[in-house]
Structure 1
């Protein structure tokens, strides 16, 4: 792996390693998502941030459970008209948004490569 981010293996809700999904998530992705989820509501002035807080929280939950579809769900927030990318944010939130996408894209590439081995 090119990045030195710490990795964690997601666990299922019962505390056992999730062997069906076996998603390894960079620990910093969960941290970045937590920051976005915490900070977006304080920025919202009728800009639709709550929609994205809900989206990010749902994606984060899936990722933390080891569901690789959580990565797909997160990345889908960044595409198309009216996407998370279109939301005008301050510099700090924009940096977090970009970082979350960067980590998620890298994780998706790694999952795809593993699936094709």
Structure 2
């Protein structure tokens, strides 16, 4: 396992944790599944991760920190920082996965 893959595994763990902190189970599960494949030296984890990006309903469309209280939309406290962290981790994961894919 190369250094980029090791770094990606850590980023995916952080990304899943951020998603879970906002109650997301779909995308956090996706990140954990990709991470598990990479931990098993299964290259399909790269393709699986990259398939989460792009298109309608993709990881690119995720916005964290939203809620409804008494039927009224509200932003959760700290939503700006949460989304900044999510965006940074998501971008880093894509960049690493793309670099690994290109090197194959």
Structure 1 residue ranges (4+ consecutive) displaced by more than 4 angstroms after TM superposition: none
Q: 1:106 to 1:37 in 2, by over 3 A?
A: same
Aligned CA RMSD, in angstroms, stands at 1.2
Q: Does 1:65 align with 2:30?
A: no
Instruction: Name 2:61's counterpart in structure 1.
Output: 86
Unaligned runs of at least 5 residues, structure 2: 65-82
Higher relative contact order (CA 8 A, sep 6+): 2
Listed as ranges, the matches of 1:8-27 within 5 Å are: 9=1, 24=2, 26=4, 27=6
Structure with the bigger percentage of helix: 2
Aligned residues: 85
Question: Corresponding residue for 1:53?
Answer: 28
Unaligned runs of 5+ residues in structure 1 are 1-8, 10-23, 112-117
